[in-house]
A = this chain, B = another copy of it.
Amino acid sequence: MDELDRVMHYLAKLPGLGPRSARRAVLHLLRKRETLMRPLADALGQAAEAVTECSVCGNLDASDPCHICRDDKRDGAVICVVEDVGDVWALERAGAFSGRYHVLGGLLSALDGVGPEDLNIESLIARAGSPEVTEIILAMDATVDGQTTAHYISDRLAGTGVSITRLARGVPVGGELDYLDDGTLTQALKARREV
């Protein structure tokens, strides 16, 4: 059936699901049409409708500004710069950071042709100019692109008087932030040092 073939086609594109597991997932959904298939369809549709990019920090959320930017209890003096919304989630799960975020939406990459204009970098420079901001944490992955991006931003912020830090070398070389356990993230954040 066309409808199920399409569901299978899209499910097979999710990380961790291949064609075979997508087929089993569709069978499972078919068996639970009212309690799983329809609710998942509705939740996905509503999420796709609701999610928007925060005009302040670039985070993805159901409101703009996002719930983190709107939270008065968070420390506006420290901005943690990350590649992706997944990194925000990872740091929030670790519960080790109470400042604000800035989501770049990617990393500089000569290979993939990603330049500064493709990322949320100008808005970061603008935020860094606010008198409230005293520290910018560059929390990019410890990969070549991650460190290239960190250097670029660090150069752009030179002379602003804002303290620029990076995560401590608890982050394993070549490791992606998103995959780290909470303890490593917490340690790396606590032991962060001036660039």
Contact = CB atoms under 8 A, between A and B. Distances in A.
Given A15-B24, A16-B25, A17-B16, A33 B45 contact: no
A48 interface: yes
A16 B6 contact: no
A40 B29 contact: no
A192 to B, nearest CB: 24
Nearest to A16: B21
Contacts of A11: 40
B85 A30 contact: yes
B48 A38 contact: yes
Contact of A28 (B15, B39, B48): B15
A89 interface: yes
Contact of A3 (B27, B30, B50, B85): B50
8 contacts: A1-B61, A7-B44, A10-B39, A10-B43, A14-B28, A30-B51, A30-B60, A42-B45
